[in-house]
Amino acid sequence: MARLVMKFGGTSVADLDRIRNVARHVKREVEAGHEVAVVVSAMAGQTNKLVEFCRDASALHDAREYDAVVASGEQVTSGLLAIVLQDMGVNARSWQGWQVPIKTDETHGAARIKEIDGAFLSERISQGQVAVLAGFQGISPDNRIATLGRGGSDTSAVAIAAAIKADRCDIYTDVDGVYTTDPRIVPKARRLDRVSFEEMLEMASLGAKVLQVRSVEMAMVHGVRTFVRSSFEDPDAPQVGIGNLPPGTLICDEEELVEQQVVTGIAFAKDEAQISIRDVADKPGVATTVFGPLSESNINVDMIVQNISPDGQTTDITFTVPETDYQRALKVLEDNRDEIGYQNIEGATDVVKVSVIGIGMRSHAGIAAQCFKGLAEKNINIRAITTSEIKISVLIDSDYTELAVRTLHSLYGLDG
Ligand code: ADP
Ligand code: ASP
Ligand code: MG
């Protein structure tokens, strides 16, 4: 007997038929003798609609009321799944975030989980009752509903798994695992049997939306064995994959990896915008006058490129910000124009950040050079570059996204 958390994303619970399919997956595990907690997302598209309602109601809405509205999608699916399970003869009940309780901080709209007392939940599931939890939500210190940021049900699931000391957290989604890149963009993408926490963290942060970034952080910190698999496989088919696991991808410690490639995957993120400040005085402290006000306005700067000026007089600074903060960033720089002292500002939102990820890069030289050469051969211009120990990111025109991702995927021998 094991203790399992099973998480089902939006497409997996998109309608009643799919919810019935989910219930069959749950029933299978219950009948195998396992203790089960389930975490569900809202039906696909539902959260977007709710977000839209809030925006239409008022551009400057109260974040606490936004949370009250957008958390409702998960309330519906948790209740419906409990009803369907009961109908199949499985003992089940739904739980909202506040009932557990899942305590968060006060950052409404992007709250962090602070604490989960899993005792009550553990007691119920050990008595054989399936707990169906609404993902994406918790309760803030001021006793209000708080949501965890888009894609947050993954984080709910991993946090619950840590709190009830589950043996595994199964993330059921619309793909049968983590691939070398988004299989929707590269049909030759290959499923990975295992990925280290660290690589998964980079892949998620750099745009692979298969897992929310915070869920991976949490899995890494608490050592939660996280397994990504498909909800669309026949629930009653034999569960045979690798190493006593069904087909899917295990996110685990580096030591558990069997074979190690230099490059594990390619990710891309289209939600960045580029800003270039032209002819800034090339003197000490200029970076502070640019990035200080941005940081005070809570705008995250990601890639930064600054040239050395040929004449020691003026230089150009290029950097990226989240696309959602683009207009605000331009305004901040405009407001601080006198202090910074520049000729003009240029910007672009039609850019994409493409990243190559792999822990093997720590011990292999030349990976970056290979990437630049490969892109050059396809005539793809690089606007900015950043690297870390296990990744290289390049900023390019978004028109070249697919070409760049496919080129790099083949170049590093990832094609299946
Ligand atoms: P859910 O609704 O189940 O949470 P998501 O849409 O959030 O599902 O995440 C699954 C999607 O992530 C897949 O449909 C796939 O297109 C996308 N994806 C992006 N990168 C990857 C990757 N490297 N491996 C697998 N899926 C990926
Ligand atoms: N329903 C929420 C969203 O669409 C949370 C999730 O699906 O993980 O972002
Ligand atoms: Mg998701």
Q: What is the CATH number of the domain that holds 293?
A: 3.30.2130.10
Residues with Cβ < 8 Å from 32, sequence gap 6 or more? none
**Contact yes or no for 347/327 (Cβ under 8 A):** no
Indicate whether 89 pLDDT > 90: yes
pLDDT mean over 194-201: 96
Same domain, 307 and 188: no
CATH code: domain of residue 117: 3.40.1160.10
More confident residue, 242 or 206: 206
Residue 113 lies in a domain: yes
List the structure tokens of 100.
Answer: 């557990």
Is residue 153 lining ligand 2, measured as CB closer than 6 Å?
A: yes
| Digit-coded pLDDT (tens) for 208-251 | 999 999 999 999 999 999 999 999 999 988 877 777 788 999 99
Query: Which residues have C-beta atoms less than 6 Å from ligand 1?
Result: 9-12, 41, 151, 173-175, 178-179, 181-184, 208-210, 265
List the beta bridge partners of residue 116: 102
Same domain, 39 and 135: yes
pLDDT band at 347 (very low <50, low <70, confident <90, very high): very high
The proportion of the chain whose per-residue pLDDT surpasses 90, expressed as a percent, equals: 89
Can you tell me which atom of ligand 2 is nearest the CA of 156?
8
Mean pLDDT computed over every residue of the chain:
95
Residue 260 lies in a domain: no
Q: Mark which of 213, 237, 255 sits at the end of a domain.
A: 255
| Digit-coded pLDDT (tens) for 365-408 | 899 999 999 999 999 999 999 999 999 999 999 999 999 999 99
Handedness of CA 176, 177, 183, 186 (dihedral sign): negative
pLDDT band at 412 (very low <50, low <70, confident <90, very high): very high
**Overall domain count for the chain:** 2
Same domain, 347 and 367: yes
Cα separation, 162 vs 94, in Å, equals 19
Same domain, 245 and 330: no
- Distances from the Cα of 25 to the Cαs of 19, 107, 229, 263, in angstroms? 10, 34, 12, 34
Same domain, 357 and 227: no
Q: Which ligand is nearest to the CA of 186?
A: 1
Core vs surface per residue 293-325: b (16+ CB within 10 A) or e: bbeeeebebbbebbeeeeeeebbbbbbbbbbeb
Same domain, 219 and 271: no
Cα separation, 352 vs 1, in Å, equals 46
Is residue 151 lining ligand 2, measured as CB closer than 6 Å?
A: yes
Residue 416 lies in a domain: no
Same domain, 25 and 132: yes
What is the per-residue pLDDT for 238?
A: 81
Residue 208 CA to ligand 1 center (angstroms) comes to: 7
Same domain, 392 and 304: yes
| Digit-coded pLDDT (tens) for 29-79 | 999 999 999 999 999 999 999 999 999 999 889 999 999 999 999 999 999
Same domain, 287 and 250: no
What is the per-residue pLDDT for 379?
A: 97
User: Structural domain of residue 147, as residue ranges?
Assistant: 3-255
Same domain, 112 and 71: yes
What is the per-residue pLDDT for 102?
A: 98
Residue 207 CA to ligand 1 center (angstroms) comes to: 10
Residue 274 lies in a domain: yes
Same domain, 291 and 329: yes
Indicate whether 302 pLDDT > 80: yes
What is the per-residue pLDDT for 99?
A: 96
Q: Mark which of 223, 255, 287 sits at the end of a domain.
A: 255
Same domain, 247 and 121: yes
Residue 152 CA to ligand 2 center (angstroms) comes to: 6
**Chain position carrying tokens 């709910």:** 156
pTM reported for the whole predicted model: 0.94
Q: Mark which of 255, 283, 303 sits at the end of a domain.
A: 255
Can you tell me which atom of ligand 2 is nearest the CA of 149?
9
Is residue 47 lining ligand 2, measured as CB closer than 6 Å?
A: yes
**Chain position carrying tokens 């798994």:** 161
